[in-house]
């Protein structure tokens, strides 16, 4: 049983101003796995004051000093990477191979990327008769979600640190353990007092306080669209910068070529990774109408091959994060049935043999793009297959969404795939797979603003000053 009842403020572990705790539930067992403290506005005030005080010194630190700290953090991270992966499995249900592999590995990757970018980043650049100076924006409030907890924390904390900002982190209440371990790593690596602070608690309290606080210069939030909108409203009165990475309903276009079955199977399996709890997941699978039956059969076979169960065992998919999320997903599956979508595989309830835990059946529907399950973000292992007539129609369907976070194109003709990617109104498009920590990540439309990852992520935390003459 874990007990994390102190906050990390000004390089000290401190008790909350007003004691209050909440249980953390293991989604695979529905049992209490630990306890955290819930912070208050008074705790936010303390943390922001510490960050504000530290900013004066840290903002003037040299690149060499920041690199030394990041490399120290990197050494400590490597020592505790397995432990952090296990924490991810416990807190949000990722299969142990995913938690200790890609989930924990993303944090290590973003840390290495921050080091690589910082080594070559131009904080000053002469442009004719003026000098461009890029300066740290100030105190940053960082609010992160539960679905990829280490990824979303590290993609904010390390660029903020590298650019000379100070920060207050609010990790997810549902998945607080891995962030707690990261704070311990930051401490052991010698992060100066006030440069990094962390408060656990409710987003409606801590996130709101950070967004409204007059001494917070920037808020970076990853999460749902409604919360992102509220943060923007809360931040408006103090005219602070707001970076948002919100929801998605990403299209995955399968070209009409020889490997239809293989491409559909890959897309179906990709949708089920992390129990579908990925904002950029390819949740709308677009296939040629002439080969719809073939695609449906391939998706059905792939979906039925996804193993679900105890995340500490060798399974492809664990539970979703909470009872509330389970209920939301069940509601969408029922909506799909009510609207007349064709159920290809999966459906309501838990998978066979699982009577306890927030497990969802991997589910595939065939429908049209006007169905609710094709319009709204479900955030669970639910894939919809939509037929297109030609490539122009495929692009039209892909862009017919309020979201624009991710996109995918699979097919043998790379030139055609790249041409389609250029026409998709979305922040990132993966063509036949691929992965790059330096590639900017962020959304169009209701999927947010700003960019994270790589050099683009540094610019979120910098102000531009022109020195002329």
Q: Spot the catalytic one: 86, 90, 245, 377.
A: 245
- CA–chain centroid gap for 70, Å, is 22
Q: Dihedral angle at the C-alpha atoms of 144, 463, 160, 20, nearest 10 degrees? A: -50
Q: Spot the catalytic one: 100, 279, 303, 367.
A: 279
Contact 406, 426 (CB under 8 A): yes
Cα distance between the two ends of the chain: 63
DSSP 405: S
Alpha carbon distances (Å) from 162 to 59, 242, 246, 289 = 10, 19, 24, 49
Alpha carbon distances (Å) from 165 to 57, 68, 157, 160, 292 = 10, 16, 9, 5, 51
β pairing state of 407-410 and 448-449: unpaired
What would the DSSP string read from start to end of 35-62?
EEE---HHHHHHHHHHHHHHHHHHTT--
Is 279 labeled as catalytic in the residue annotation?
A: yes
| Residues whose CB is less than 8 angstroms from the CB of residue 119 and which lie 6 or more positions away in sequence, other chains included | 63, 67
Active site residues: 245, 279
């Amino acid at each position: 049983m874990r007990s994390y009842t102190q906050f990390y403020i000004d390089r000290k572990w401190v008790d909350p101003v007003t004691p209050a705790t909440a249980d953390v539930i293991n989604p695979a067992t529905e049992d209490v796995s630990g306890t955290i403290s819930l912070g208050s506005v008074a705790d936010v005030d303390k943390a922001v004051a510490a960050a504000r005080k530290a900013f004066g010194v840290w903002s003037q630190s040299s690149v060499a000093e920041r690199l030394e700290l990041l490399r120290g953090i990197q050494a400590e991270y490597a020592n505790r990477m397995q432990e952090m992966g296990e924490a991810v499995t416990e807190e949000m249900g990722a299969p142990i191979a995913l938690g200790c592999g890609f989930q924990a590995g993303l944090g290590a990757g973003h840390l290495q990327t921050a080091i690589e970018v910082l080594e070559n980043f131009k904080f000053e650049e002469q442009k004719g008769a003026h000098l461009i100076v890029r300066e740290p924006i100030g105190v940053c409030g960082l609010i992160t979600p539960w679905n990829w907890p280490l990824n979303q924390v590290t993609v904010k904390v390390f660029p903020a640190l590298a650019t000379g900002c100070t920060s207050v982190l609010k990790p997810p209440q549902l998945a607080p353990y891995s962030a707690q371990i990261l704070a311990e790593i930051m401490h052991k690596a010698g992060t100066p007092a006030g440069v990094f602070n962390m408060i656990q608690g409710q987003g409606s309290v801590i996130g709101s306080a950070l967004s409204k606080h007059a001494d917070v210069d920037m808020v970076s939030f990853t999460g749902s669209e409604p919360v992102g909108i509220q943060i923007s409203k809360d931040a408006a009165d103090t005219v602070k910068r707001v970076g948002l990475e919100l929801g998605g309903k990403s299209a995955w276009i399968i070209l009409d070529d020889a490997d239809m079955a293989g491409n559909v199977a890959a897309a179906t399996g990709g949708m089920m990774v992390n129990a579908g709890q990925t904002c950029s997941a390819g949740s709308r699978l677009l296939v040629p109408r002439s080969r719809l039956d073939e695609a449906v059969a391939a998706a059905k076979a792939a979906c039925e091959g996804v193993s679900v169960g105890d995340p500490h065992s060798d399974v492809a998919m664990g539970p979703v994060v909470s009872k509330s999320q389970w209920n939301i997903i069940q509601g969408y599956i029922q909506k799909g049935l009510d609207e007349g979508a064709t159920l290809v595989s999966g459906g309501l309830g838990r998978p066979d043999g699982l009577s306890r835990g927030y497990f969802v059946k991997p589910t595939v529907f065939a429908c049209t793009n006007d169905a609710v399950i094709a319009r709204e973000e479900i955030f669970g292992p639910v894939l919809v297959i939509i037929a297109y007539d030609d490539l122009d129609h495929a692009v039209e369907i892909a862009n017919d969404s309020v979201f624009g976070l991710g996109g995918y194109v699979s097919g043998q003709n790379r030139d055609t795939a790249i041409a389609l990617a250029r026409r998709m109104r979305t922040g990132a498009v993966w063509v036949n797979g691929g992965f790059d920590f330096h590639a900017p990540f962020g959304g169009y439309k209701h999927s947010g603003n700003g960019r994270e990852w790589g050099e683009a992520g540094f610019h979120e935390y910098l102000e531009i000053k022109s020195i002329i003459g």
